[in-house]
Amino acid sequence: MVIQSEIYFNEDEMPTDWKVGLRLDKRVVKKTGLFPIKLRLYAGHLHQARMFRTGKECAKKDFDNILNRNINVKGKNLELRVWCDKFLERARKITQDSQIYSFNEFKEEFVAKPKTKADFIVSKYIREDLIKDYSKAKTITSLKGTANKLDLYYNRITFFDLKSEKLHSITTKMYDSGLAIATVSLFMRNIKIAFNRARKPGKNQIIPETIYPFHNYKIKDYSNDKKRNRPLFIDEIKNFSSYKPKNTLQKRAKDFFMFSYFANGMNLVDIALLKRTDLEYTDSGLRFTFIRKKTKDSTNKRITVSVHKIIQSVFDKYGDGKKNIFSILKGNETDDQIDNRVGDYAKILNKGLKEIALELNIDNKLSMVWARHTFASKVYKSKKFTIKEIGNMLGHNSVATTERYLGSIGLIEIEKVQDVL
């Protein structure tokens, strides 16, 4: 016989398909003389009921007292009443919020390990959950890069921390650090993808719709924002190249900026990965060849650079590495470690560049990425190369990519300004 006493939520509080309650199962008597408390789940849409163990047991009299809210209970019975309330509340929440249909789905959800703060860390979620939805190497690399940047800028930040104002703050910080428009936009799109998956109704949903920040944050198109993202003007690059650094930091920052400029706008991460085996002596002089890390998974396009005397001077000053020419990296890092280490090194160089910018009255947003923009501006304005040829120098996969890039740094408008100077 199953005891008649049950705890139920009011009918108007329950969804029409599900009803939950606690029962004392008197069919089974423990050696202690107590009876097991079980969860009774009724599925109206299935016209079936099922009992689930709770791991708790109680005497009939005590259970009746726990049910009766007019009776004040103390000690263990009070603790058990509180536990029953919480247990039922959790069961009710699952039947209402998780869109479950079967008893097995309920059991799977109910016995799942409770979420901790670590489960809501966005970078962790991207690496361990979101990436599983994708198979293309390029997409996976992009998502991993976003996770790395999150760790770099805001370590262990959670979905609940990423409110719209925080997204604006991160956007500003990334631009101030010298990251390109395309990089920042891709980063934010990946964050949005993570939010959309994490809030999607179903058993994999881990955050409520109410915290979604992209209702009040739009991924801005900064293609016309010249102040943030532009090449150096002709007079600025001349003043920069002739500037006499006032300290070691400025000297190193200037040297690597000029290296990038003369090496087809080479990204800092590719400079860091440059190996001695990439160097080659030819009849026309020393040169090196490399594949961009950013696009290595989608293309094997090799970029060849003739070693200008400025590049050679940087080799001579800082080329103290063993496997890699420069000792920015040890040579055995994972992709994540490479991104973090190069990111830290970029911060150091950008600090020196901002000091130089202040001395020369150049835009204080000056950073390493401006070397790439300045190189692109130089070859574009020379009128000697087609868009496709410029794209090959920059390591782009298509003419469309190059056109978007040249548009993002406002070369047409900047060209008009320089014609006036």
Specify the higher pLDDT residue, 394 or 294. 394
Q: Is 346 helix (H, G, I), strand (E, B) or coil?
A: helix
Considering the domain architecture, whether residues 177 and 271 belong to the same structural domain is answered as no
Name the token pair of 31. 């050696």
Does residue 196 sit in the same domain as residue 74? no
Convert 107-144 to b/e letters by CB count within 10 Å (16 or more is b): eebbeeeeeeeeebbbbbbbbeebbeeeeeeebbbbbb
Q: Is residue 220 part of a domain?
A: no
CATH number of the domain to which 148 belongs: 1.10.150
* Residues 122 and 210 occupy one common structural domain: yes
For residues 242 and 204, the model is more confident at 242
Residue 199 pLDDT exceeds 80: yes
How far CA 384 is from CA of 3, 233, 260, 389, in Å, comes to 91, 19, 21, 9
| Cross-sheet strand order for the sheet of 279-282 | 279-282, 285-290, 303-306
Instruction: Band the pLDDT of 184: cuts 50, 70, 90.
Output: confident
Q: How far apart (Å, rounded) are the C-alpha atoms in residues 365 and 353? A: 9
Residue written as tokens 């016309």? 224
- Decide: 147 and 340 in contact? Cβ < 8 Å: no
Quote the tokens at residue 242: 């002739």
Q: Per the domain annotation, does 380 fall within a domain?
A: yes
Distance (Å, whole) CA 347 – CA 177: 7
Mean pLDDT of 134-151: 85
Count CB atoms within 10 A of the CB of residue 405.
Answer: 22
| Domain final residue pick, 110, 145, 163 | 110
Residues 288 and 242 in one domain: yes
Question: Are 144 and 102 part of one and the same domain?
Answer: no
Q: Do 63 and 105 belong together in one domain? A: yes
Among 162, 225, 226, 210, residue whose Cα is nearest residue 188: 162
Q: Find the mean pLDDT for residues 7-18.
A: 47
Residue listed under structure tokens 């070691």: 248
Q: Are 264 and 401 members of one domain?
A: yes
Q: Which of 110, 142, 176 is the last residue of a domain?
A: 110
Query: Is residue 28 domain-shared with residue 157, that is, in the same domain?
Result: no
Q: What is the pLDDT of residues 334-379, one digit of tens each?
A: 887 888 889 899 999 999 999 999 999 987 678 999 999 999 989 8
Alpha helices in 263-408 (DSSP H): 268-273, 309-318, 335-360, 369-381, 387-394, 399-408
- Supply 331's token pair: 């040579």
* pLDDT tens figures, 213-239: 998 887 765 444 444 567 888 889 999
Alpha helices in 225-282 (DSSP H): 234-242, 248-262, 268-273
Place 244 in a pLDDT band, splitting at 50, 70 and 90.
very high
Position 332 scores a pLDDT of 83
In angstroms, the CA 154 to CA 148 distance is: 10
Domain count, the chain: 3
Give the domain extent around 299.
234-420
Between residues 61 and 204, the one the model is more confident about = 61
**Helices marked H in 160-247 — which ranges?**
164-176, 181-199, 234-242
Q: Which amino acid is at 245?
A: P
Q: Please tell me the predicted confidence (pLDDT) of residue 41.
A: 87
Distance CA 243, CA 352 (A): 13
In a domain, 24, yes or no: yes
Q: What is the CATH number of the domain that holds 378?
A: 1.10.443
Most confident of 37-46, 150-159, 242-251: 242-251
Beta-carbon count within 10 A of 355 CB: 18
296 in any annotated domain: yes
Looking at 110, 145, 176, the residue that finishes a domain is: 110
Read off the pTM: 0.54
Q: Kindly state whether residues 241 and 372 are assigned to the same domain.
A: yes
Domain for residue 223, yes or no?
no
Residue 228 covered by a domain: no
pLDDT band at 10 (very low <50, low <70, confident <90, very high): very low
The model's pLDDT over 98-127, given as tens digits with 9 standing for 90+, comes to 567 788 878 777 765 556 667 789 999 999
Question: Residue 96: phi, psi to the nearest 5?
Answer: -85, -40
Which amino acid would we find at residue 249? L
Span 259-268, average pLDDT: 94
pLDDT band at 204 (very low <50, low <70, confident <90, very high): confident
Average pLDDT, the chain: 82
| 122 and 96 in a common domain | no
Residues 130 and 174 in one domain: yes
- Cβ 232 vs Cβ 353: under 8 Å: no
Q: Are 47 and 81 within one domain? A: yes
Does some domain include residue 224?
Answer: no
Sign of CA dihedral 182, 183, 187, 188: negative
pLDDT tens per residue across span 49-85? 888 888 888 888 888 888 788 888 888 888 888 888 8
Instruction: Please check whether residue 328 lies inside any domain of the structure.
Output: yes
Q: By CB neighbour count within 10 A (0-12 exposed, 13-18 middle, 19+ buried), where does 145 fall?
A: buried
